[in-house]
Amino acid sequence: MVEDSIFLRSLDLFKDAFPGRINQILKSKEDGKKIVGTLCLYVPDEIIYACGADRVILCGGRSAPIVAAEEYLPRNLCPLIKSSFGSVIDQKCSKTKSCPHFGLVDLIVAEATCDGKKKMYELLDKYIPTYVMDLPQKPENQNALEYYIKELDSLKDVLEKLTGNKITDVLLRKEIKSANETRRLLHALYELRKRDSPPIRGTEMLKVLQQMHFLAPDEFRKNLVLLLDELKVKKRESSGPRIMISGCPMASGNMKVPEIIENRGGLIVVEESCTGTRAFWDLVDENKEPMRALAERYLKIPCACMSPNDRRIAQILQLAGDFNVDGVVYYTLQFCHGYNVEKYRVGEALKQSGIPLLSIETDYSGADSEQIKTRVDAFLEMLE
């Protein structure tokens, strides 16, 4: 529960940013800038910005576009994949202007992660040119890093061809420095969440993180600074059983489970997720050759598409300790086999550390909300 719910004005900067950002992208296009769409953390933003393009995230978190997507894709497929595809093909979506940025994208830079996404990208290419970057599936293999560097080099070529601009080491270093600044600010925010009574709730933090790959980096960073300043002067305290949410990403529009957790009295103190720590935890080494440094950092992302994924287990245990977590809500989207299967190993590791786990597998509909509330209530009661 939030004991002192003093309103944070700077949160509105993230919440209300959508129309301004769309105008900004339209203006960029008029000025001849190329717009690149991405759907995964393994595509380094630094390379996209170094070639003078703008970037928007295209991961769908809303249920509305799924109906249109199911005319092409099987029903038993991850809702994030269907929502993303539906947002591109759904004419109603562009008419209502709920996601006009999808229609402004010149090139999608996709990635070979889960099977559902890979096959969806083949269909997506009919609507927006889609380049699929390959990834090593076993990041600890001795050739994995060199292979990833080669893939990033190919991506660099594709982007240089798209924009007509050369990506130099100087430009890459500048982008790496800026991205690291953003990561440091997010670390500073997460430090505040380690407090006994954190000044910001998980649902508030999530709305910030959902804007991380949508807003222009300068604007996102500027808003983070304002949020940090506001948190320093306003006395806000939150309480309740301390929860880590761990698992699939929660793209913009998808707030069902975190809202239920916090509305029922839990307090989310950390998200082990791509809308959470996986997006910013590791920094890029600014002293190394830029493409190698980028490859080293991005290959460390502990996604369940990788095997084995020991790094994720270790990180979950580390975060649970650092953030003094009482329990973990393991969040998977339906038909996301990677995160679903990995749940067993995460559960075993947490059991050994005496940390309880509640597993929730869900989609973007509200059909299971009541059932989730009942299970969350029982879990929170057990933790208290």
| Residues lying near ligand BJ8 in the complex (CB under 6 A) | 40-42, 78, 80-81, 113-114, 116-117, 248-249, 274, 301, 303, 305, 333, 336, 338-339
Q: Cβ of residue 176: shortest distance to ligand BJ8, in angstroms?
A: 19
Q: Cβ of residue 89: shortest distance to ligand BJ8, in angstroms?
A: 17
Phi, psi of 241 (to 5 degrees): -55, 135
Nearer to ligand BJ8 among residue 331 and residue 379 (C-beta):
331
Nearer to ligand BJ8 among residue 26 and residue 145 (C-beta):
145
> What gap in Å lies between CA 131 and CA 110, rounded to an integer?
6
Q: Cβ of residue 338: shortest distance to ligand BJ8, in angstroms?
A: 5
Q: Token pair 């004005």 is at which residue? A: 9
Q: Are 302 and 278 in contact (CB under 8 A)?
A: yes
Please work out, in degrees rounded to the nearest 5, the angle formed at the alpha carbon of residue 350 by the alpha carbons of 256 and 283.
75
> What gap in Å lies between CA 58 and CA 18, rounded to an integer?
14
Q: How many residues appear in the chain? A: 384
> What gap in Å lies between CA 221 and CA 291, rounded to an integer?
23
Q: Token pair 């269907």 is at which residue? A: 82
Nearer to ligand BJ8 among residue 18 and residue 331 (C-beta):
331
> What gap in Å lies between CA 203 and CA 267, rounded to an integer?
9
Q: Cβ of residue 159: shortest distance to ligand BJ8, in angstroms?
A: 19
Q: Cβ of residue 156: shortest distance to ligand BJ8, in angstroms?
A: 20
**Integer angstrom CA distances of residue 318 from 55, 58, 325, 356:** 32, 30, 10, 15
Who contacts 66 (Cβ-Cβ below 8 Å, separation ≥6)? 79, 82, 83, 86, 364
Nearer to ligand BJ8 among residue 13 and residue 155 (C-beta):
155
Nearer to ligand BJ8 among residue 113 and residue 182 (C-beta):
113
Count of CB atoms situated within 10 Å of the CB of 205: 25
Q: Cβ of residue 123: shortest distance to ligand BJ8, in angstroms?
A: 14
Q: Which residues is 244 bridged to in the sheet?
A: 270, 328
Q: Helices 115-124 and 79-89, interaxial angle, to 10°? A: 10
Nearer to ligand BJ8 among residue 28 and residue 334 (C-beta):
334
> What gap in Å lies between CA 351 and CA 344, rounded to an integer?
10
Residue 283 per-residue DSSP state: P
Q: Cβ of residue 30: shortest distance to ligand BJ8, in angstroms?
A: 30
Nearer to ligand BJ8 among residue 6 and residue 341 (C-beta):
341
Q: Cβ of residue 114: shortest distance to ligand BJ8, in angstroms?
A: 3
Q: Are 248 and 339 in contact (CB under 8 A)?
A: yes
Q: Are 176 and 46 in contact (CB under 8 A)?
A: yes
Nearer to ligand BJ8 among residue 113 and residue 223 (C-beta):
113
Nearer to ligand BJ8 among residue 328 and residue 336 (C-beta):
336
- Taken in order 328, 317, 303, 99, the sign of the CA dihedral is positive
Q: Cβ of residue 127: shortest distance to ligand BJ8, in angstroms?
A: 18
Nearer to ligand BJ8 among residue 44 and residue 338 (C-beta):
338
Q: Cβ of residue 168: shortest distance to ligand BJ8, in angstroms?
A: 28
Who contacts 354 (Cβ-Cβ below 8 Å, separation ≥6)? none
